[in-house]
Amino acid sequence: MHNGQNFSSDCKILQRQHAYFPCRFPCIHVYCSVSVLTVIRAAILIQKWYRLTMARLEMRRRYSLSIFQSIEYADEQDQLQLSNFFTFMLDHCTHPDSDLSLKEFEKEIDVPDSYYGPRLSFPLTVEDANALLHAFRNEQLLHARYVLQLLSETRRVLKEMPNITHLSTSYSKEITVCGDLHGNLDDLLLIFYKNGLPSEQNPYVFNGDFVDRGKNSMEILIILFAFLLIYPNDLHLNRGNHEDYIMNLRYGFTKEVSKKYKDHWKQILSLLRDVFSWLPLATIIDSKVLILHGGISDTTDLDFLNALERNKVRDHIHKQTGPSEEDNSHDQTHDPRSQNGCTPNKCRGGGCYFGPDVTAKLFERYNLKMLIRSHEFKPEGYEISHDGKVITIFSASNYYEEGSNRGAYIKLNPELTPRFVQYQVSKLTRRQNLQERVGTIESSALKSLREKIYAHRSELISAFAQYDLNGTGRISVNDWAAAMESVLQLELPWRMLRSQLAQMNPDGEVDFMSCFYDLKMGQPIKEAQPALAETLCRYRKDLEIIFNIIDKDHSGLISLEEFSQTWRLFTSHLGIDIQDDSIDKLVLSIDYNKDGHIDFNEFLEAFHVVHRLEKKATS
């Protein structure tokens, strides 16, 4: 309906129209007035409908991204909780080469005539880099011999670099700063296509997190390291929190390398661990712009950062049992917030939130103008905070799902005025309208959330029961939301999500068991008790990492004894109360050929969550 102002406006429009088109016949005049007024009302209704539809789509998009980010941060908390355990397992179950030069070993690796990929010779040239780009566009692998040679040369160059790199815009018109890539090769190729390849006239700073999550982390490293060797003064790399062997175990890079280089993956990972340890920690442009991966804290000391033995930093962190001022100074997991102060980052389980006052204090101490950091997903690829003093740059587009976000990079000119370039690698999204794109993102986010819910089934049922005093199986929406948050601690808008996760009866109460109706365990094993099955489901990803550490020959098989010992260590570390005989019975039941070994990948596959409706749709 029109309000008075809109109706008056409509009448004025009609008057102007009739001033230009006077009508001699009263009946026609009335008809024309009604007709135009109807069109205007229809247009306004369509406009309101469009705005409402767009608002609803934006709401769905935002809560989907909130789900993804909350689950990601919860996963990081699990990672930190198990970091000491993973370190213990690596120290006791693997024996990396003590001599990482590998020169003699590289010479002994034969490159067969059947290999049609790039053949590198050192020192590298621009032609070598172009050959690598061409090969990777066509999904070719670089031979292991050249990978090891490239990594050895990269380590040699990195060792000569300082902890903090100082650059100047006086030697070039602009410097390009890129954020997280996370194994998304298409993003790197698109950046080079839009912005040009690294060169003396076109310098770059890549601000960490080159690897993990995406499927082409190895190719990204090879390209960046190749350009680093060709242009050591014009391509600069900062270390991110994912340039770390413990993170790589959990988030996919270790698995990627072992699949692509089945014969030499151990040597490659061993050398990469050393290469990562020598990556610089920060970059400063024109003494005014500080670039580092995570952020700062109230204890950040650039002089201390510059004096660190950076190749020992991460090993020191993994072996610490508690936080210290030294750890906090070079931590790569700090995030900016609008509130003043420096408070623990409880969402990630590590690092801190730093406020505008912390930024101002550091800027005053070191006479800085701007802080550029990465580390944090941003839907538009970048975000400006702290009155323009802090910029977050995130270069991995489609990070959570196809169409979920743009990537971006920054161009800094001699005036140090940032110019943002956004992009999005689009494959499927080109053929989808906005509603379809949002639907895809929402569906993927809800799928991840439902799996998280099922993995905490017992705890959730107990939490629901506390509100269901009469045992009806129904509780209020507020109680349901409170129970969900108390168990999952994801800080999500549960009331808004209720319609997607649980059914409501006509009286407005939630049937809380409906949360689990569409979910079940993958391949039920009758010997697995419910509590044990749920525990295995929840920690499936962590157990896969641990078993891969134990599986020295990468056969996918481990002995029953190794399995049982590892399980006991794991449950003891996490304080999980599961009887030993229940896991022993389960392990014996899956030793199908009774040879004393089990296929642990097949075993863990039995404890993943299946979405019933999805299975019906695909069967």
Catalytic site residues? Answer: 242
Q: What is the DSSP letter of 507?
A: T
Phi/psi for 474 (5° steps) reads: -130, 140
Q: In what order do the strands lie in the sheet with 235-237?
A: 235-237, 204-206, 175-178, 407-412, 418-423
Residue with tokens 């730093």: 354
Rounded Cα gap, residues 111 and 107, in angstroms: 10
3-state helix, strand, coil in the chain (%, to 5): 55, 10, 35
> Using omega within 30 degrees of 0 as the cis cutoff, is the peptide bond preceding 123 cis?
yes
Neighbours of 66 (CB within 10 A): 17
To 5 degrees, how large is the angle CA 225–CA 231–CA 237? Answer: 50
Rounded Cα gap, residues 323 and 327, in angstroms: 6
Rounded Cα gap, residues 412 and 432, in angstroms: 34
Phi-psi region of 367 (alpha: psi -120 to 50; beta: other; left: phi over 0): left
Rounded Cα gap, residues 88 and 108, in angstroms: 33
Beta strands in 546-588 (DSSP E): 557-559
Phi/psi for 533 (5° steps) reads: -60, -40
Asked whether the beta carbons of 267 and 258 are under 8 A apart, the reply is no
Q: Which two tokens stand for residue 196?
A: 């040009």
Q: Which two tokens stand for residue 115?
A: 């290999």
Closest-CA residue to 110 (of 252, 223, 263): 263
What sign has the CA pseudo-torsion 471, 473, 474, 477? positive
Question: Is residue 393 classed as helix, strand or coil in its secondary structure?
Answer: strand
Rounded Cα gap, residues 161 and 280, in angstroms: 7
To 5 degrees, how large is the angle CA 321–CA 252–CA 184? Answer: 120
